[in-house]
Structure 1
């Protein structure tokens, strides 16, 4: 399976001639990521993970496009696009989906706390083929399995470096690649990734930085 990283939290997975995109948000190259893709997974409703305007346009331009997301996203897209339910599907945690050649398992359920006065939203993490885990905006660790490749929210208003490190340690992944990184400068990457990579190695995880549009086999 081929994984391509786009800006921020957007990734594309390709397998057996089919591609699947997770979190094509407002910080990402949405149209490029979606090119040739009929399957989209969205972890939660925040615009850096879900660009409503561009996804509505994508639905209009591609009659085969199908989207799976928490209810808040699906309700908004249904109203904006007028699409029938067979193209827009609500997902919750602890479910299994068969999407073409991909087997998808869902975990979590809630966005990480930003501040007690800011309401949380639904957030669903996706495990693809028991091989790749995209947690969205959470440090949820999938229960009942160890996923070899984990996408790590590297920097966010709701996290601190110690939580990022502890998340990697808890997953026991073989490989880790960064997501949720659009707010970091080159200097910031150097500071954060130096510590993240050091502790990941101590616990048997290889951490590697991926630039936008860089691909890796998983």
Structure 2
């Protein structure tokens, strides 16, 4: 299985001719992320996780493109002619096949940003019983995870929570996502501490991925 990191929170997962993309948002080169992709998983409705216009353009070029997303996103896309019949609403506790890969869902809600900001739906995805993308949450799945995607910076998070999440999941490997708001020096501060914690507890090997970089699992 191959994992490719794209901008911010977007990744592509491929196993031979089975492949899907997760969260192609506005900070992502969607044309690259969705190339030869028939399945897209969306964790929640925020624009840094879904670029509706470019997703619709991709659907216009690919009649086989299908999307799985929380009901709030599915309802939003129902008004888009190019996407209305492409979307399946999902919630936590489900299992399905997307792009030929087995997917299980976790969570249910976005992490709290502030008491004055309504909490929205958020679904985390475990793909191929190997790669876990939590979206905008630190929900720990009740499953063995090989590769954990760790949101390292967000308006709703702090570094201590990212470290606790990484340690709690106890995946063999971890890679950063949700890093589009960071400068390179700022990113290195977060990643140094995550790597230190992973080594201290001895359960997880942390690795940085540049946009477009792939790693074999």
TM score, norm. by length of structure 1: 0.96
Check 1:22–1:83 CA distance in 2 against 1; reply closer, same or farther (3 A cut).
Answer: closer
Paired positions, count: 216
1:128 matched residue in structure 2:
127
Cα distance in 1 for partners of 2:8, 2:82 equals 28
1:182 matched residue in structure 2:
180
Counterpart of 2:113 in 1: which secondary structure?
A: coil
2:98 matched residue in structure 1:
99
Check 1:116–1:39 CA distance in 2 against 1; reply closer, same or farther (3 A cut).
Answer: same
Maintained 8 Å contact 1:39/1:67: yes
Maintained 8 Å contact 2:20/2:99: no
* 1:39-64 per-position Cα deviation (integer Å, ceiling 9, x unaligned): 00000000000001111111222111
Counterpart of 2:168 in 1: which secondary structure?
A: helix
Unaligned runs of 5+ in 1: none
* 1:51-103 per-position Cα deviation (integer Å, ceiling 9, x unaligned): 01111111222111000001121112120125454x21001000000224311
**Per-residue deviation at 1:154?**
0.6
Cα distance in 2 for partners of 1:110, 1:63 equals 31
Cα distance in 1 for partners of 2:71, 2:127 equals 20
Maintained 8 Å contact 2:38/2:99: no
1:160 matched residue in structure 2:
158
- More deviation in 174-183 or 74-83? 74-83
For 1:67-216, what aligned pairs fall within 5 Å after superposition? 67-81=67-81, 83=83, 85=85, 87-143=86-142, 145-203=143-201, 204-216=203-215
Cα distance in 2 for partners of 1:6, 1:84 equals 26
Unaligned runs of 5+ in 2: none
